């Protein structure tokens, strides 16, 4: 996810439109449950992190806070309820 955050910042800084395939596909991947599960299953310590990804959402201390923030940075903050706060 560190590389994902860097990619989101770069795309945001250069104002790449959210309709561009790179941005649209990146957000689609972050919203795909199975792809995220595979991403977080490559080493065993990441499996519990994925399972607990919503814990602490209200205080901004969880994996989904990072994922929602990246989506909002890319212009997808208003299209689903979960990202509106970010």
What is the reported pLDDT for 46?
84
The pTM score is 0.79
Q: Pick the residue with more confidence: 83 or 21?
A: 21
What is the reported pLDDT for 61?
82
Going by C-alpha positions, the residue among 65, 80, 86, 63 that lies closest to residue 28 is: 80
Extract the runs of DSSP E, i.e. beta strands, from the chain. Answer: none
**Per-residue exposure over 71-80, b if at least 16 CB sit within 10 Å of its own CB, e if not:** bbbbbbbeee
pLDDT, tens digit, 9 for 90 and up, residues 35-78: 888 888 878 888 888 888 888 887 778 888 888 888 988 988 88
């Amino acid at each position: 996810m560190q590389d994902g955050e860097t990619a989101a910042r770069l795309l945001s800084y250069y104002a790449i439109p959210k309709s561009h395939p790179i941005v649209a596909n990146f957000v689609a991947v972050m919203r795909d449950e199975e792809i995220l599960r595979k991403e977080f299953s490559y080493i065993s310590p990441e499996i519990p992190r994925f399972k607990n990804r919503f814990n602490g959402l209200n205080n901004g201390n969880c994996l989904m806070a990072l994922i929602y923030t990246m989506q909002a940075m890319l212009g997808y903050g208003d299209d689903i309820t979960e990202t509106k706060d970010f």
